[in-house]
Amino acid sequence: MEKLNIEASLTRSKTAVWLIGQLQDVLPANVLPKTSDVLKVFCYHHHTEKTTVSESAKLTSYQILELWDKARIPTTYDTHVIEKLKSVFEEYQLIKKNKGRASDAQRLREKNFEEKSRKLFDIAHQEAAQLIKIHEDRVFLEDQGSTRQMKMSGIDKQLSKKEDRAEERKQKDEDRQMREEHRKNASAQSSITQIPDSSNSENEENIEEQQQHKDKDYEIEIPLYYKKQLCYAVDVEESSEYDIATKKPRILQDMLSSSDVASALDRINLSDRKFTILAAAISQASGQSLDDAALSRSTVHRKRLTHRSVIESHVREQFLARDKTPLLVHWDSKIMKDTTNNTDPHSNTDRVAVVVTPKKYWASLKLQQEQVKHRPMQHTSCSIYGNYLKTL
């Protein structure tokens, strides 16, 4: 018996993984897993089952999320769980790579990793404390991160019944809404396809003939003027109803053919692709089918180029039609020696030269440092230009 125990201990020591321990294929069922528990399952899949690191992390994350879901604690996304598990394994690989060293730094890293392995593998949601509604679940999460004395028991039957009732009510509401939608569709279809019965129409005609026969002695002659007015009103009403029924919305065509829309797009710097998406949404909301209109990024681009060309031609014609001779204003700045500064003859200053082609050189102004820093050059040139216009 003692020999069997010795052989079993030797076998366990041979199969144990450094700093992790004996591998296992499942996590503990009544507590939230520690980092060491997670690594044992991960290494079982990676070393024993010969799966890749990504596949091992994915299989282990399924068990982790299942346990946290059983504890009814909100967690982060599964991709974040996988990334965190890979990060822990990479840290373990770096420490394992230098396990033969006897330096103090290596021993400290091993000690810190062992302490980390004994702690909770925390994947709780960032706002789990606010999202958890049951006080016992909140206390259980705090316990698992510290003393780990609490255990998970069986299924909460009362809570399960509440959830079943809530799910049943939700399903009934969905069924009720679906039946109401079917009823509305059926009533609309029947009102469109309803055809009057021929027998009913014949009965109505007979009744009208009898009524006319009874009232033939009381006929009133309508003047010709009023007859024309009545006929005109009936024709206008019928034509307007026909136009409303046959007229199709042209929102998309109006937007593409409007120069104001093209100018607005250029002012707000909206791309052709974004305007295509926006125009399609506006057209559908207005009741226009996109099957009846040509809409693409290239179409929008061509329309905008056409509008720009028309606007450019119009502006050019207006400019050339002016009686006054056009003037071209040039301005530039240069750092020069400040000859007016008697205290510091080596000092420099910024001067702005403003020229109007082709006649005259106007001024070269000295700029203070505050003007250079806070006032753009074009403001200074505009002020010079304004002073010149006052002298004209």
Which band of pLDDT confidence, cut at 50, 70 and 90, is reported for residue 245? very low
Q: In this structure, are 14 and 49 located in the same domain?
A: yes
Domain range spanning residue 86?
A: 2-144
81 and 14 housed in the same domain: yes
pLDDT tens digits, 174-228: 888 888 888 888 877 775 655 444 445 555 556 556 555 544 444 445 555 455 5
pLDDT over threshold 50, residue 61: yes
Which residues 6+ apart lie within 8 Å of 8 measured at CB?
A: none
139 and 10 together in one domain = yes
Q: Please check whether residue 183 lies inside any domain of the structure.
A: no
Q: Token pair for residue 349? A: 């200053």
Q: Are residues 124 and 17 part of one domain?
A: yes
Model pTM above 0.75: no
Residue 36 pLDDT greater than 90, yes or no: yes
84 or 16: whose pLDDT is higher?
Answer: 84
Same domain? For 8 and 121 the reply is yes
Residue 201 maps to a domain? no
Shared-domain flag, residues 255 and 363: no
Q: Are 331 and 381 in contact (CB under 8 A)?
A: yes
Q: Does the residue 179 lie in any domain?
A: no
| Structure confidence at residue 238 (pLDDT) | 55
Residues 167 and 296: their CA atoms lie apart, in Å, by 45
- Is 134 a member of any domain? yes
State whether 100 and 64 are in the same domain: yes
The verdict on residue 56 lying in a domain is yes
Q: Give the chain's radius of gyration (CA, Å).
A: 43
User: What pLDDT is attached to residue 4?
Assistant: 46
Is the same domain home to 137 and 17?
yes
What is the structure's pLDDT at 157? 62
Give domain status of residue 159, yes or no: no
Whether the Cβ atoms of residue 88 and residue 39 lie closer than 8 Å to each other:
yes
Residues 260 and 354 in one domain: no
pLDDT tens-digit series, residues 278-326: 888 888 888 777 776 778 888 888 888 998 888 888 888 887 787 777 7
The pLDDT of residue 220 is: 46
Q: Is the pLDDT of residue 85 over 90?
A: yes
Overall number of domains in the chain: 3
SS3 string, the chain, reads CHHHHHHHHHHHHHHCECCCECCCCCCCCCCCCEHHHHHHHHHHHHHHCCCCHHHHHHHHHHHHHHHHHHCCCCECCHHHHHHHHHHHHHHHHHHHHCCCCCCHHHHHHHHHHHHHHCCECCCECCCHHHHCCCHHHHHHHHHHCCCCCCCCCCCCHHHHHHHHHHHHHHHHHHHHHHHHHHHHHHHHHHHHHCCCCHHHHHHHHHHHHHHHHHCHHHCCCCCHHHHHHHHHHHHHHHHHHHHHHHCCCCHHHHHHHCHHHHHHHHHHCCCHHHHHHHHHHHHHHCCCCHHHCCCCHHHHHHHHHHHHHHHHHHHHHHHHCCCCCCCEEEEEEEEEECCCCCCCCCCEEEEEEEEEECCEEEEEEEECHHHHHHCCHHHHHHHHHHHHHHHC
Which residues are CB-contacts of 148 (< 8 A; sequence separation ≥ 6)?
Answer: 31, 34, 120
Q: Look at residues 304, 320, 336 and tell me which one is the last residue of a structural domain.
A: 320
* Contact indicator for 303, 262 with CB cutoff of 8 Å: yes
Residues 25 and 132 in one domain: yes
Task: Give the least confident one: 137-141, 268-272, 341-345.
Answer: 341-345
Domain match, 271 and 340 both: no
Domain end residue (candidates: 115, 144, 173): 144
Q: What is the pLDDT of residue 349?
A: 86
Q: How much is the average pLDDT of 74-80?
A: 93
